[in-house]
Structures are given as structure tokens and as C-alpha cells.
């Protein structure tokens, strides 16, 4: 394997990690506030569809972005109403929203475009175009560092850089602001936050809104950056991989970056090589595809340190008993 | 009176939840420019208007009874088994291995062994998440989701690399031998002089599913183990003081749950496809969640809910044949049913409870 191939695989890993990273941070905000969100998948899918559909119809990817984020926010809103206001089962709500997204995108898509659930292919201003970082051309010929800068880091769509910026931003919000402190507290001990006179409900809705926006961006990137249009079930389990990455990252922003990059890398390798010949035996492509899930189960099993979830996760907060 | 009557809890509230789900689905149909009333009529005639339609409705219902019971048993032990889909996939693998590699003299023997094969494989797929929940405290919901994906990869690998017919591009196993073919309802009813569609896939598995309902009922409400499962589900902490071992209950409930999901494959793999294909489960494992919620985790309720979803599935595919409404309408309805019966239950329950309490107060005062 030569250097150019490594750069190509790393480049593809970064692209594939982007939606995972955005969704993973979405899950991070919601679970840190004590709300399980297995509906990440559905939100990505809904946002992917509405962003592609609106971009295709209006010709503007930015309108698509607004539509995608709005749809994801709407899903977050329903999840919030179910799990915060009506104190319902958060897992069931998430499952329901995943199905809702997978059904409704095809239902509306078929009626809208008559393409069997797809949207038309996006091109030109309907997609996000690559952004060249400054001096990318100038340094391209510098050995080793040149290709890393101009091929690997430069030339992605704006959403990739947004996703990467979200990591320090999330860290800052969660660990260096009052809002972040309260948000984390609400996921550990909501009663204490309530006693301090801070609204648990408002904080949890805020976390839902943040998760909605981030998941929305993940979907928008999927349909208008990574791919050129929406196809049936295009989220393809990414919401669940993001959830796996969240556990892998032990609910921390920087770890989320590393975990999603790792899972992106696994996907990139699985895409590029069908079966990997290790000499003694051959790793089938299906094993590579299952690896993120297997790794998560191993982490969950407590091998390699324990993964401790936010304490109040999954429990609706009842003010007075 | 500070509670509402039991009939309101078991019948009225599910009915209202369902009504909301259907009204919203109707609005969705309206929004995409079709007529919901016409759509409903078409679904009814497509699913219930002929013995062919009934044959498919009952075929789907058979799948959903198995997966619905599976989810219910886990729910009764306070666990949410989302892994029915993967357990049914692996169960299908078990059924296929049994049918392909053991020579059977008669279908009845084949059925019994295949049931065991499907159940053992399905249960095995539930054991690891169960163990991790019981011993390591890893959330069974997350692990079963992961296991669904791993199951898909395992199945894919087995079909592409091991079971695929040589020279065929299709990732599917070879046809099962003749002696493992299950009699369909047509074959069963013909000697009795009742004519039933020959083309419909409903088969003898339906009766196994009905027996499973009875067995699950007896197990949960008429046995010591069932009592322990329900006690643990209602209050894990209290049940420990009653001498109930959480480890034992979690393991047994998940094994039963996985076994039932796996057993579903006698219907779709052995009874219908007569070979193992990639997407044989077709989401039935997930529909089990809706069925269990709708049926209030009771075998009789599960039966009714499974019939309802069987109707929706068959009606939905008829609808997609004759109108521009795609099959996925059923997924939307399923989602709304799960949302309103499962997550937004309090939204309906609150007001209804208040109405009953006010009514009772007025009568008393």
C-alpha cells in the first residue's frame, strides 16, 4: 500500500466519519441531559430526504439545509414531547420515530417526485461544493505534508469543517459554560438541578433542540455532500453506529471525534477492499461491516474499562412524587 | 374511585391510540393526494375480500404472533428486546440448516426439528445480550440493536460464502427438499371440503403460533416461573427480597423471547420461501414491538394485534399494486401505533382518566 492510497483511504474515512460525528454529538447532548435517543437514525434519514427534496425543487442547497434541519428538529420535538412532557418511554419513542422517518420519506418522496422514493440527482448549486483551504495548490508538491494538507484536509464541503469545529465547540459548551454544567447535571441528578431552581424541562428541551440541529446537519451532509440526492433508507444504520460511537467515546466530545474517525475508517476500508487477505486467513467484508457493532458490544461488556452512562438516562423527570 | 375501570385500560385506551394513529395516517394519505376512505376500502377488500387475501393476512399475522409474543415476554420481565429482527434472521439460519442437511421422512418430523432449530438459534442470539445485561449491566436495548446488525452480517456471510448455490449470483440457499415442505391451509382444508386459495402462503405454522399463544399465557399466568417473571418485571428490587434471582429471570426471559423470534422462521423460511433468502424477516421482528404494545403484552391481545398488522400488511401491498400509495404506508402506520400506544400513552390516558374520575365523583356527590 503506497502513500497515495493511504491518503485516499484517510480522505474517504473523514468524509464517512462526518455524518457519524454530527450524529454522535447530537446523541451526546441528548444523553448528557438524560434522554436516550435511539431515534438518531430516523432524524438523519428525515433530514437527508427533506434537504435533498427541497434542494432539488428549489435549486438551492441552503434552502435544503434549512428544510433538513427543520425536519430533524420536528422529530426532536416529538421525541421531547413524548419523553419530557408526557413522560413516555424514550426508547419506544425513538423506535417509533425511526420507523416514521423510514416510512414517511418514501411515502412523500414517491408522491413528490414519482421516482419510487428517490429524489432526482442533485448537481451544481443543489449540492455543497468542495471548499479549497488556502494555499492548498501551493503546498501540494511538498512531500508528505503537501498531500496531507491539500488532498486529505482540503477539498471537503463546508459541513465537514463545521462538524470538526463542533467538537471543540461542544467541549466548550459542555465543560466551560454554565449551561453545559447544568445540562450535564440534569443527566446525572435532575432533582438536584430542580432544587437549585433551574428548569429541568427547559434544559432537556434545549438538549433536544441541539440534538435536532446536529442530526439535521448529518442528514444534510449525507444527501447533499456525501451523495448527490436521496435514496431509500440511505442513512443505512449510521444513526446506530453513531450511538455505538457515543458509547465507545464514553459520552465525551473529543473521544467522539476519535471514535467516529475510527468507524469511518472501518467503513472506508470495507468499501475499498472486499475481502482482506491476512495470509493465514481472509477477513470477509461482512466482518468489516459488523466490526463497529462488535467493538461496541465488547466495550459495553466492560472490557477495556467501563462505560458509565449518565445516571438519569432514560428516566422521565417527575417533579413531585 | 381514583382509578378508571379495567375495560377502559385494556380496550378503550388502545382503541383511542389506534384511532389517532389511523386518523393521522389518513391525513398523510390525504396530503399525498389520495383518498383515505377509498384506500381503506381497497385495503379491506384486498386483505379480507377473498381467501387469497385472507391467506396472506393470516400468513403475515403468523409471523407477527411469534415476534409479538417474543417482545411481550421480554417486556414482562422489564426488558425491551429490540433484537427480534436479528434473532429471527439467525433463527432462519437454524431452520435452513436443519432443512438442508437432515434428511426427513415426513414434514411433521421436519417441522418439529425445524422448530427446535429455529428456537435454539434465535435463543442463542439473545443469550449474549441477556448475559451482558444480567452480569455486566450493559443495556439490553443497545446490545440487541448491535446484534441485529451483526446478525445481518452473519446471514450475509453465510448466504454468500457458505449456503449459496454454486454458480448462482443470488445470495440465497438452495431449495429445501420436498419432504420439508409444510402443508398450506389449502392442503389442510381441502380434505374437509372447504376450498381455500392455493396460492396463499398461510400454512400449518399458523396453528403452531396459536398454540404458542396458549403456552405463553399458561407460562406467564399459570406457572411459578411466569409469576417470577412478572414479579421481577414489576419491581426488580422487591422480587430479589422474594428470593427471585434477577440473573435467572433475565436469562430465561431473553432465551424464551429469542426462541420465539427464531421460531418465526418455520413460517417465512420453511413454509413460504422454502429456502433461506437475505431479507426473509422483512421487518417482522420490529413489528413485534408494535404488536406487543398494541396487545398490552397479553397473548390474546398479541393475537388480535397480529391479525390487525397482518391485515395492514396485506392491505398495504394490495394498495401499492393499484394506487400510487407505496407499501411503506404500513411502516408509517406502524410507527404511529408504536408512538401513540407506547410513548405518548399518557397523552390519551391523562384526559380519559380525568373524565372517568370526574364522572365517578359527580355520581357519588
- Full set of structural domains in chain A with CATH: 3-300 (1.10.3470)
pLDDT tens, position by position, B70-128: 999 999 999 999 999 999 999 999 999 999 999 989 999 999 999 999 999 999 999 99
Q: Are the Cβ atoms of A88 and B80 closer than 8 angstroms?
A: no
Average pLDDT of chain B to the nearest whole number = 90
Chain B CB contacts of A99 under 8 Å are 286, 331-332, 334-335, 338
Q: Report the percentage of chain A scoring pLDDT > 90.
A: 44
Q: Which phi and psi (to 5°) does residue A156 adopt?
A: -100, 170
Residue B173 backbone dihedrals phi, psi, to 5 degrees: -75, 170
Res. A4: pLDDT tops 90: no
pLDDT digits (tens, 9 = 90+) for B190-205: 888 888 888 889 999 9
| DSSP H/E element including A277 | strand A276-277
User: Nearest to residue B120, comparing CAs of B87, B80, B143?
Assistant: B87
How far is the alpha carbon of A297 from chain B, nearest alpha carbon, in Å?
6
Interface contact flag, B335 A290, Cβ < 8 Å: no
Residue A102: C-alpha distances to residues A24, A95, A227, B146 (Å): 20, 11, 18, 19
DSSP secondary structure string for all residues of B169-199 = -S-BBPPPPGGGPPPBHHHHHGGGT----SS
Q: Give the Cα separation of B274 and B172 in Å (integer).
A: 11
User: What is the b/e burial string over B27-50, where b = at least 16 CB atoms within 10 angstroms of the residue's CB?
Assistant: ebbeebebebeebbebbeebbeee
Q: What is the ipTM of this complex?
A: 0.89
**Distance, CA of A43 to CA of A50 (rounded, Å):** 11
Task: Look up the pTM and report it.
Answer: 0.90
The residue-averaged pLDDT of A58-64 equals 90
The 10s digit of each residue's pLDDT in B271-322 is 988 999 988 888 899 999 989 988 889 999 999 999 999 999 999 988 888 8
Q: Which residues of chain B lie closer than 8 angstroms to A95, CB-CB? A: 82, 286, 289, 338, 342
Q: Which residue has the higher pLDDT, A222 or A142?
A: A222
Contact, B72 vs B216, CB < 8 A? yes
A283 three-class SS: strand
Q: Do A117 and B326 touch (CB under 8 A)?
A: yes
Q: B219-230 pLDDT, tens per residue?
A: 999 999 999 999
What residue in A sits closest to B350 (Cα-Cα)?
A86
- Name the nearest CA neighbour of B343 among A132, A38, A233: A38
Three cell numbers, residue A298 = 465488547
pLDDT of residue B310: 94
Domains of chain B: 61-306 (1.10.3470)
Helix, strand, or coil here: A86?
Answer: coil
DSSP letter (8 states) at residue A281: S
Half-sphere exposure of B182 (CA within 13 A, CB side): 31
Q: How confident is the model at residue A118 (pLDDT cuts 50, 70, 90)?
A: confident
Residue ranges of A 106-135 with Cβ closer than 8 A to chain B: 106-108, 110-111, 114, 116-117
**Is the dihedral angle over the CA atoms B252, B256, B261, B266 positive or is it negative?**
positive
The pLDDT value recorded for residue B1 is 47
Q: What percent of chain B has pLDDT over 90?
A: 56
The owner of cell 508528505 is A144
* pLDDT class of A142 with cuts at 50, 70, 90: confident
Q: Find chain A residues with C-beta within 8 A of B138's C-beta.
A: 297, 300-302, 307
Q: Does residue A222 contact residue A19 with C-beta atoms inside 8 Å?
A: yes
Q: Do A100 and B80 touch (CB under 8 A)?
A: no
Torsion sign (Cα): A196, A308, A255, A34: negative
- Give the mutation candidate from A290, A314, A316 for the B interface (greatest B CB count, under 10 A): A290
Amino acid at each position: 500500500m503506497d502513500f497515495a492510497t493511504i491518503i485516499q483511504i484517510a480522505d474517504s474515512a473523514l468524509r464517512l466519519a462526518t455524518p457519524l460525528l454530527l450524529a454522535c454529538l447530537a446523541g451526546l447532548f441528548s444523553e448528557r441531559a438524560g434522554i436516550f435517543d435511539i431515534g438518531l437514525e430516523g432524524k438523519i434519514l428525515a433530514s437527508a430526504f427533506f434537504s435533498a427534496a427541497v434542494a432539488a425543487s428549489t435549486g438551492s442547497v441552503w434552502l435544503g439545509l434549512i428544510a433538513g434541519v427543520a425536519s430533524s428538529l420536528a422529530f426532536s420535538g416529538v421525541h421531547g414531547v413524548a419523553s419530557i412532557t408526557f413522560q413516555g418511554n424514550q426508547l419506544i419513542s425513538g423506535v417509533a420515530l425511526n420507523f416514521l422517518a423510514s416510512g414517511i420519506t418514501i411515502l412523500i418522496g414517491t408522491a413528490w417526485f414519482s421516482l419510487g422514493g428517490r429524489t432526482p440527482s442533485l448537481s451544481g448549486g443543489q449540492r455543497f461544493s468542495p471548499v479549497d483551504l488556502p494555499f492548498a495548490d501551493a503546498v501540494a508538491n511538498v512531500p508528505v505534508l503537501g498531500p496531507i494538507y491539500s488532498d486529505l484536509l482540503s477539498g471537503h464541503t463546508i459541513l465537514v469543517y463545521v462538524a470538526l469545529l463542533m467538537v471543540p465547540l461542544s467541549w466548550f459548551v459542555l465543560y466551560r459554560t454554565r449551561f453545559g454544567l447544568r445540562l450535564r447535571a440534569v443527566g446525572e441528578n435532575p432533582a438536584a438541578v430542580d432544587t437549585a431552581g433551574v428548569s429541568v424541562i427547559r434544559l432537556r428541551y434545549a438538549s433536544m433542540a441541539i440534538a435536532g440541529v446536529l442530526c439535521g446537519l448529518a442528514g444534510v451532509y449525507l444527501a447533499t455532500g456525501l451523495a448527490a440526492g436521496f435514496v431509500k433508507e440511505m442513512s443505512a444504520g449510521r444513526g446506530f453506529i453513531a450511538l455505538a460511537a457515543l458509547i465507545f467515546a464514553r459520552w465525551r466530545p473529543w473521544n467522539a471525534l476519535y471514535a467516529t474517525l475510527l468507524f469511518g475508517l472501518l467503513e472506508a476500508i470495507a468499501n475499498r477492499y472486499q475481502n482482506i487477505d491476512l495470509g493465514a486467513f481472509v477477513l470477509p467484508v461482512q466482518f468489516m461491516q459488523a466490526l463497529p457493532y462488535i467493538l461496541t458490544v465488547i466495550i459495553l461488556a466492560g472490557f477495556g474499562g467501563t462505560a458509565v452512562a449518565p445516571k438519569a438516562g432514560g428516566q422521565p423527570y417527575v417533579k413531585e412524587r | 374511585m381514583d382509578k378508571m375501570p379495567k375495560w377502559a385500560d385494556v380496550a378503550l385506551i388502545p382503541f383511542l391510540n389506534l384511532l389517532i394513529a389511523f386518523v393521522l395516517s389518513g391525513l398523510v394519505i390525504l396530503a399525498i393526494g389520495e383518498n383515505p376512505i377509498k384506500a381503506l376500502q381497497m385495503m379491506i377488500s384486498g386483505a379480507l375480500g377473498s381467501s387469497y387475501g385472507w391467506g396472506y393476512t393470516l400468513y403475515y399475522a403468523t409471523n407477527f404472533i411469534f415476534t409479538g409474543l417474543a417482545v411481550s415476554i421480554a417486556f414482562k420481565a422489564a426488558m425491551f428486546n429490540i433484537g427480534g429482527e436479528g434473532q429471527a434472521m439467525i433463527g432462519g439460519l437454524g431452520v435452513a440448516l436443519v432443512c438442508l442437511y437432515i434428511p426427513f421422512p415426513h414434514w411433521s418430523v421436519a417441522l418439529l426439528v425445524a422448530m427446535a432449530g429455529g428456537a435454539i438459534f434465535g435463543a442463542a442470539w439473545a443469550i449474549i445480550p441477556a448475559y451482558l445485561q444480567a452480569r455486566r449491566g450493559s443495556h439490553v436495548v443497545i446490545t440487541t440493536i448491535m446484534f441485529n446488525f451483526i446478525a445481518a452480517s452473519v446471514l450475509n456471510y453465510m448466504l454468500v460464502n457458505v449456503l449459496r448455490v454454486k454458480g448462482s449470483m443470488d445470495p440465497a440457499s438452495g431449495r429445501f427438499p420436498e419432504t420439508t415442505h409444510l402443508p398450506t391451509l389449502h392442503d389442510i382444508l381441502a380434505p374437509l371440503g372447504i376450498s381455500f386459495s392455493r396460492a396463499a402462503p398461510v400454512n400449518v405454522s399458523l396453528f403452531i403460533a396459536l398454540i404458542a399463544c396458549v403456552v405463553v399465557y399458561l407460562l406467564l399466568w399459570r406457572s411459578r416461573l411466569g409469576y417470577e417473571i412478572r414479579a421481577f418485571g414489576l419491581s426488580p428490587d422487591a422480587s430479589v427480597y422474594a428470593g427471585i434471582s434477577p440473573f435467572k429471570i433475565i436469562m430465561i426471559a431473553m432465551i424464551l423471547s429469542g426462541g420465539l423470534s427464531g421460531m418465526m422462521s418455520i413460517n417465512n423460511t420453511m413454509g413460504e420461501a422454502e429456502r433461506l433468502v437475505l431479507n426473509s424477516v422483512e421487518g417482522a421482528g420490529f413489528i413485534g414491538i408494535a404488536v406487543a404494545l398494541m396487545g398490552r403484552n397479553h397473548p390474546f391481545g398479541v393475537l388480535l394485534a397480529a391479525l390487525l398488522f397482518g391485515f395492514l400488511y396485506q392491505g398495504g401491498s394490495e394498495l401499492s399494486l393499484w394506487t400510487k400509495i407505496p407499501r411503506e404506508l404500513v411502516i408509517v402506520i406502524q410507527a404511529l401505533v408504536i408512538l401513540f400506544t407506547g410513548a405518548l400513552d399518557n397523552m390519551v390516558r391523562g384526559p380519559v382518566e380525568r373524565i372517568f374520575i370526574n364522572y365517578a365523583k359527580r355520581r357519588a356527590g
